[in-house]
Structure 1
Amino acid sequence: MDSPGCIVPGCRGTIMSEIKIYVVCHKLFEVPSHPYLFPIQVGASLSANRFPGMLYDDTGDSISNKNRSYCELTAQYWAWKNDAAAWQGIFHYRRYLSFDARSQARAAGEHFGRPYRVLERPTAQSLRRAGYDPQGLARFLEAFDVIAPVPENMGMTAARQYETAPHHYAADLTIVRELLRRGDPRDWRAAEEYLNGTNLYFGNLFLMRRPLFERYSAWLFDLLAKYDEQKDVSGYSPQAQRVDGYLAERLFGVYLTRLRAEGTAVGFVPRLHFAGMESRGAYLKQRAETLLLPPGSVRRNAARRLLRKI
């Protein structure tokens, strides 16, 4: 007889009762049908169109109207406030996580391989190859509390990378660092460790057990609200106005660093970049770039530094 916590027929033990991965969409692209993938339209309150067959971030308790600054975080807020699945995660319509056998075998270690792979589009076939078998994925999750992307070595500190990235301003990160310094000393230690390290967690992509997701969301949105109180970004360009999303990408690394210091079981798997959503040419270009300059490699970081000098 199946245990009360089963999510798939024939399972045994303590597999979680629900897994929900919210696939964030601000454009209308197909999300493959899968029992764990739930497409959600973000910025729905700011759009004249409703994407068919999706959840919407402007229902229930929401911050959809903040999407221009909060980006995919409006989906995270919606999931936090309006759902209570045992596992909750955030993906992007062009960026997923890989759960294939090789990724699973390396997830608990410190030698991860490349941080991401480039594929053309998310399809039922590509997801099968990436380990999205419902039973296998559920069993894999049993060993962990958090699933995070493999860190990418950028050849510079996380703080420096933020300060030099297009449409990012050092002053914004300075405000958040000061908020962390004045808060819980454990958060401050985690922030100093992560922001002064060279391994970065990109994409705002993750899967967490619900208690850790609740804790992360409460902490994150409190920090961003305090940042918003101090900084007026109305004069920023549209790209720079995405600042809360940019900051959250770094704050995820801070939170994860603290969780690891506490002994939380974290599994690391590569990202999947679907580069052909708008054109096959874009996919072929990014595929060639990653072959010539592998992500996280010394060669890629050297090329990046050279381009900054030109």
Structure 2
Amino acid sequence: MKIVPLLITLLFSPVVIGQTLAAPPAREQTVDSSRLQSDSQAYRFSTFRLDSDDGKRHYQLWVGHPNRPAPAAGYPVLWMLDGNAAMAVLQPGLLEKLANGQAPLLVAVGYQGEQRIDRNARSFDYTPTIAGQAEQLDPLTGLPSGGVDAFLDLLSQRMRPLVASVAPIDTNRQTLWGHSYGGLAVLHALFTRPGEFSQYAAASPSLWWHDGAIGREAHGLQQRLGQARPSLLLMRGTAEPASPRGQQQADAERPMRELATELGQVNGLHVSYQRFDDLSHGAMLPASLAHLLETLSK
């Protein structure tokens, strides 16, 4: 495991994420995908819609195709949760660099509608079930929760075949990125289905959720890995509090640091941890995704 301090201002051009960092997306803001209606020089985008199996959540997928031939094994794929908000990070300059690097297929998994953050849907889709609770409710919002396994099943059984029907994909090079509750979903995916993706990127995961329930899911990961050899990228801003209802603490980073240390001892799992100096929780959404995209562009 490596722990690497990260200075955002040294890594990213203001042209790429300057505006995004200054105004982190809020759920009331709307998504503007008008520039994606026409093909860019680097990527062309198409959209797909589908519903959850129970018909209660309605998804929109933005699929970005690199304007270059697919490798023999197919395109690597980057799956981005909170896809409506993620689309705002895909600035033209960054897409150009990405197309000249690994050129992955980009799949932003969002929700139908114009809101960047769909609080109701993500409270259900990105959270695990808590054993022994008759009613699964999110401790922060009071909304229904516990649907992450159904969501991940939907991704693997319906979304992935849909994407594969329009572009050849490399099933051995799949990355899952998520922020906050999305980061919680990424960790749950790693702990329960470590062979589903080759890389897991969890930005500011909600480790506080239900008194640290996600950390307990890591127990037994060594045995569940089997032949899988995934990597995990953990990311956190140094200005983030330990929980959304708490004040900044002297060592708010401790839960993340301890998780990184624990997971770094799992044979077969490569763990890296990036700190983002002076960034708040909201600012970490665009910064963490931009960092991952920068990595893939090299």
TM-score band, normalised by shorter chain: under 0.3
Q: Give the TM-score normalised by structure 1.
A: 0.27
Q: Give the TM-score normalised by structure 2.
A: 0.28
More strand, by proportion = 2
Larger Rg: 1
More helix, by proportion = 1
